């Protein structure tokens, strides 16, 4: 990686960390700069303004991370019920960077930025749509192999599962991670009913 590309990545990585914990608007450019060796000149050389940096962060940091954790494990699903549940278990309990107190970076940004900025909304919708598509496709494969009832609507299931995740991430910010296990248990009951 060239030195310039490295500077850019440093900005996005540190911005991601701070915005995850503090929120987008509460994280100032000066705050990002103070915790890196990057100067204001470098920041505005790489990004036209704060929002362009924020969008780059979504597309270049959050999107790849969520694809690896949430989408990839569901491609070529043989056992959708268990694989969806396991994927959820992994993201809630096994990703070390994510802390209950701070919730999910993408969910946080949807909450804060969707109503305020159309570009953010579009970029974030792309994330959740990809995830829902992966779940939907997984359920469809389960229908093909008769492990899922024929009358199940895969898109509806995907919507319900993603909403459940967003919600438990929200709840966990106030109530702590103990609710994750409760959620996983009831998610299993919901998923079993699809068979």
Residues of the shown chain interacting with DNA in the complex, contacts defined by CB under 7 A: 2-4, 6-8, 27-31, 37-42, 44-46, 49-51
Pick 17 or 147: Cβ nearer DNA: 17
Region of 10-18, 43-51, 64-72, 115-123 interacting with its own copies (CB under 8 A): 115-123
Residue 50 or 121 with smaller CB distance to DNA: 50
Question: How many angstroms separate the CA atoms of 56 and 50, rounded?
Answer: 10
Positions 152 through 191 that interact with its own copies (CB under 8 A): 153, 155-157, 159-160, 162-171, 173-175, 179, 182-183, 185-187, 189-190
Only one of the segments 52-60, 61-69, 71-79, 98-106 lies at the binding site for its own copies (rule: CB under 8 A); that segment is: 98-106
Give the span between the Cα atoms of 130 and 106, in whole angstroms. 13
* CA dist., res. 119 & res. 109, Å (int): 12
Under DSSP, is residue 108 helix (H, G, I), strand (E, B) or coil?
helix
**Residue closer to DNA (CB basis): 15 or 161:** 15
User: Which residue stretches of the chain are H helix?
Assistant: 3-22, 29-34, 40-46, 50-57, 63-66, 80-89, 105-113, 118-144, 154-175, 178-192
Q: How far is CA 164 from the centre of its chain?
A: 13
Q: Give CA–CA dist 65/106, Å, rounded.
A: 10
- Binding characters for its own copies, 135-154, by CB under 8 A (x = yes): ------------------x-
Residues of the shown chain interacting with its own copies in the complex, contacts defined by CB under 8 A:
21-23, 25-26, 101-103, 107-108, 110-112, 114-116, 121, 124-125, 128, 153, 155-157, 159-160, 162-171, 173-175, 179, 182-183, 185-187, 189-190, 193
């Amino acid at each position: 990686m060239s030195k310039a590309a490295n500077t850019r990545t440093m900005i996005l990585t540190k911005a991601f960390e701070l915005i995850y914990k503090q929120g987008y608007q509460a994280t100032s450019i000066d705050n990002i700069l103070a915790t890196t060796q990057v100067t204001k000149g470098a920041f505005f050389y790489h990004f036209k303004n704060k929002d362009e940096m924020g969008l780059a962060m979504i597309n270049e940091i959050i999107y790849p991370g969520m694809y690896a954790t949430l989408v990839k494990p569901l491609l070529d699903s043989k056992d959708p019920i268990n694989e969806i549940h396991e994927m959820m278990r992994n993201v809630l309990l096994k990703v070390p960077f994510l802390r209950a107190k701070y919730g999910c970076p993408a969910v946080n940004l949807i909450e804060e930025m969707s109503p305020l900025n159309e570009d953010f909304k579009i970029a974030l919708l792309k994330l959740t749509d990809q995830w829902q598509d992966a779940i939907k496709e997984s359920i469809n494969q389960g229908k093909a192999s008769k492990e899922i009832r024929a009358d199940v609507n895969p898109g509806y299931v995907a919507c319900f599962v993603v909403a459940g995740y967003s919600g438990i991430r929200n709840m966990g910010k106030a109530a702590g991670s103990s609710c994750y296990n409760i959620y996983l248990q009831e998610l299993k009951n919901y998923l079993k009913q699809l068979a």
